[in-house]
Structure formats: structure tokens, C-alpha cells
Amino acid sequence: MLKGKIAKLAVSDVRFPTSLEQHGSDAMHANPDYSAAYVVIETDDGLKGYGITFTVGRGTEIVVCAVEALSTLVIGKTLEDIVSNFSGFYRCLTSDSQMRWIGPEKGVIQLASAAILNAIWDMWARAEGKPLWKLLVDMDPKQLIRCIDFRYITDALTEQEALSELISIGIQLNYDLPEEMLKEGYPAYTTSCAWLGYSDQQLTQLCSTALTEGWTKFKVKVGADLQDDIRRCSLIRKMIGPENSLMIDANQRWDVAEAISYVTKLAEFRPLWIEEPTCPDDILGHAAISKALAPLGIGVATGEQCHNRVMFKQFLQASALQFVQIDSCRVGSVNENLAIMLMAAKFRVPVCPHAGGVGLCELVQHLILFDYISVSASLENRMCEYVDHLHEHFKSPTVIRNAHYMPPKDPGFSSEMFDESVQKHQFPHGEVWRSILEKNGS
């Protein structure tokens, strides 16, 4: 199964008009259209792999272009060539001597690498007939470590240390962990009730439905207007009661001092964390915010726009975050997320993935299951984001039961979309967009 050569790589610009109803809106992204550069790879013996990277509308065409530019590094390789030296392949893709100039390992080119690598991981898991989380959990730790490019992180985590993080869990491994997960699932929190563009009425109604469905952890968008935020947070806190958890997310809206003073004013609502309080690149700024908010019992969470493992390393070294929000499409796929999860374990910081968008929940659930079973073995202060949009476009959509992600069973990375969904939502010629663009007169 691993011997066929990758003969085709197709990439589509797929967009969903979520901005029409303000789904996904926040203090910096007022009208996101959840979108993806969607990659399908195929070997000459008919094995397929599906990968995505997440975007929010305009600009997806640039990611598509970057995927096309990188495709020459993939075509002609067998899956065996790739996975037998996965860190080598990762480096060839992310450090190509000419293309690295437009990164390196950041921005559009990194999103494009993520889409391609996600497709390769999907193909590998399908070839093994396992859901991706199981492929990872069953893999020999030495082989797993060989998927990681350790360049630039050995001052924080050596290969040997990474191996001992995995092996130490392996030794004390409570073999019931996978069994428990299969029954109970992994705890989730919801962001679907409180997008910034939702009215108070919508917020109240969604929150009350979520409570009846068993949700206990809620994230609220903040940052555009303090008085609005005080009203919205007070409304949600009253509805969910003192025991349930509230998190707030400013999506990079503030300067450092502004973040501290703003969040201090929201402290009475007892948020567990403030997410992306300032520029995602400002590691020392996040450290200052963390220090200032610690006495209030509020942590800092970030990661959905953190470029790569090197930045996560520095966030951890500088005690600049208390919750690591890995994202399955922002960094270099599973390979780089393995490095990030192992560093987080070494620094004893919980991983609480970013999800939502289109397909992010489908993908990241595999990573957090692996994190629980093979790395952290703990649920303390840990939960995975869930957003209830667009799952119907996936062949193996997430299954949520009682506010928990139920472990995926189908082989692969849960990343395959229905052909019909892809065709209808292709930008700009799919039928959904043709009709929207016609209505807008463009």
C-alpha cells in the first residue's frame, strides 16, 4: 500500500458564506467566510489522501497558489519514501532553498505546507486502516520522534527528552486510557453561542440550548467595546452559573497595557483565560500580560496564529502562556504539532486545541486524543474547542456526545469532504458563489 507513487495533487479554493449570518465573527474578523485550501493527493495505485488548511475568505487563492508551487516536491514520491524519513521530507517541504525565502515556516507558505502534510498523514492513516489518532498512539515512539524536525528547538527539547516524555507515559501507561476515551470521549467547550456579531437575544437562546445539551464550558468573544463585553459576559455568567467555565477571546485586539486594564475590568466574570489578548508574535507582551493577570486567576491562551514550533518554544520558555492552543492547519501539520505537544508536556502546560472554522474540529480531535493517551494522560485544565458549523460537508464528521468529542473510528484524518460540497462552494465558480456574486452585481 505504501509503494505507489503520488501521481496527482489537486487543490481547490472552497469557501462557505458564513459571514452572511456573522458566524465566526470576532473583534478583528468582523465577517469571516470560513474557507479552505482543500488538497487531494492520489497515488498511481489509487490510494487517496485529503488535507485542508483553514482560511477566512479572501486570500485563499494565494494559499492555493502556494500549494501548487510546493506540489513539485511531492509528486513522484512514494508514501514509503515520505514516511520512512518523515522529518527529512518535512524539512524538504518547509526549507526548500528558494521557497523558504517567502516564509520560512510562517504565513501563506506554512499554511500551504500544512494542507499538503495533512493530506499525507490522512493517506498514511488510510493505508494503515486506522483513524489518525490510533496510528499515532500505536506507533513505536522512536518512529514517532523521527517525524519531528528538531531544528531550532533542541535548546528546549532534545530528541532524547522527547522520547523519554513518550516512554515515561508508555511505562506508567494506564492501558485503560483508550478504553475510557472510547466510552466517555474527550471534553469539549463551545464557542458557538457568543460570536461577536450575535445579538443578545441570539446569545441567550444559543446559550440556553447549549446548557440543555450538557455544555459546561463556554467561550465569549470580546474586545471591540468594553460596555458591550461587560453586558455580554454578565449575561452568560448569569445563565451558566458560578460552577461552569467561561473563557474570553479578544483575537489580538489590544496593546499590552490595554489588555491588562481591559481584562482586569472583566475579572468579576471569572474567565479562566483571556485568549489572544495582543499581537500573536509578541511573546514578551504575552509574558507581561500573564504576569499581571496571574493574581486575578486568569491565564493567557494563544496559538491559533502562532507560526511554528520555534515561537511555541519561546512562549513556553518565557512563561508567556498558560494554555497551549495547537491548531491543525496553522503550523506544519502533525509533524510540527507533535513537537509542540511534547514541549508543552515538558513545560507542564496544558494543551487546549483551537478548532472550529471549517474542518479544524475534524482534524484536531485526533491530535488531542493522542496527547491524552500518549503524552499527558491528564484531563486537568484541558479541553478541546468545538464550534457547530459546517460539519455536514465532511464524510466523517465529528461526533459530540454530552459535550465530549467521541473518538473517530473511520480510517484517516477525518478530512475528506463531499465532492458535491466542494463543487458547490468552489470560489468563484461554484453555484453558491455564482448566485451570491450575481445578487451583489459582481
Ligand X SMILES: C[C@H](O)[C@@H](O)[C@@H](O)[C@H](O)C(=O)O
Per CB under 5 A, 385 contacts Mg ion: no
Per CB under 6 A, 57 contacts ligand X: no
Q: From the CB of 282, what's the least distance to ligand X, in Å?
A: 17
Q: From the CB of 333, what's the least distance to Mg ion, in Å?
A: 20
DSSP 221-263: E--S-HHHHHHHHHHHHHHHTTTSEEEEE-TT-S-HHHHHHHH
The contacts of residue 148 (CB under 8 Å, 6+ apart) are 87, 90, 159, 162, 335, 336, 338, 339, 342
Residue 191 binding partner per list Mg ion, ligand X, none, with a CB distance cut-off of 5 to 8 Å that depends on partner kind: ligand X
| 354 catalytic residue (yes or no) | yes
| 291 catalytic residue (yes or no) | no
Distance CA(363)–CA(156), nearest Å, equals 27
- Residue at shortest CB range from ligand X: 24
Q: From the CB of 191, what's the least distance to ligand X, in Å?
A: 5
Site string for ligand X, 22-41 (x = CB under 6 A): --x-x--x--x---------
Q: From the CB of 304, what's the least distance to Mg ion, in Å?
A: 5
Residue 330 binding partner per list ligand X, Mg ion, none, with a CB distance cut-off of 5 to 8 Å that depends on partner kind: none
Note the helical H segments in 85-218. 86-94, 107-128, 132-138, 141-145, 159-172, 177-184, 200-212
CB distance 203 to 233 below 8 Å: no
Residue 32 binding partner per list Mg ion, ligand X, none, with a CB distance cut-off of 5 to 8 Å that depends on partner kind: ligand X
Say how many CA atoms lie within 13 Å of 89 toward its Cβ.
Answer: 26
Q: Pick the catalytic residue: 313, 354, 389, 425?
A: 354
The contacts of residue 238 (CB under 8 Å, 6+ apart) are none
Instruction: State which of positions 280-339 bind ligand X (CB under 6 A).
Output: 304
Q: Which of residues 193 and 345 has its CB atom nearest to ligand X in the complex? A: 193
Per CB under 6 A, 354 contacts ligand X: yes
SS3 category, 186:
strand
In single-letter form, the type of residue at position 40 comes to V
Q: From the CB of 325, what's the least distance to ligand X, in Å?
A: 8
CB distance 299 to 289 below 8 Å: no
Span of 1-9, 39-47, 349-357, 424-432 interacting with ligand X by CB under 6 A: 349-357
Per CB under 6 A, 249 contacts ligand X: yes
Instruction: State which of positions 273-302 bind Mg ion (CB under 5 A).
Output: 275
Judged by CB under 6 A, the number of residues near ligand X is: 13
Residue 216 binding partner per list Mg ion, ligand X, none, with a CB distance cut-off of 5 to 8 Å that depends on partner kind: none
Q: Pick the catalytic residue: 221, 286, 307, 404?
A: 221
Give burial (CB, 10 Å; 0-12/13-18/19+) of 146: middle
Of 346, 375, 351, 374, the residue nearest 156 (C-alpha): 346
Give, rounded to a whole angstrom, the gap between the first and last alpha carbons of the chain: 47
Instruction: State which of positions 235-264 bind Mg ion (CB under 5 A).
Output: 249
Q: From the CB of 263, what's the least distance to ligand X, in Å?
A: 16
Q: Which three cell numbers stand for residue 157?
A: 527539547
Q: From the CB of 121, what's the least distance to ligand X, in Å?
A: 22
Q: Which of residues 123 and 344 has its CB atom nearest to ligand X in the complex? A: 344
Sheet holding 48-55, edge to edge: 6-15, 35-43, 48-55
Per CB under 5 A, 327 contacts Mg ion: no
In single-letter form, the type of residue at position 78 comes to T
> Binding residues for ligand X, per CB under 6 A?
24, 26, 29, 32, 56, 191, 249, 251, 304, 354, 356-357, 385
Q: Which residues are known catalytic residues?
A: 221, 354
> Binding residues for Mg ion, per CB under 5 A?
249, 275
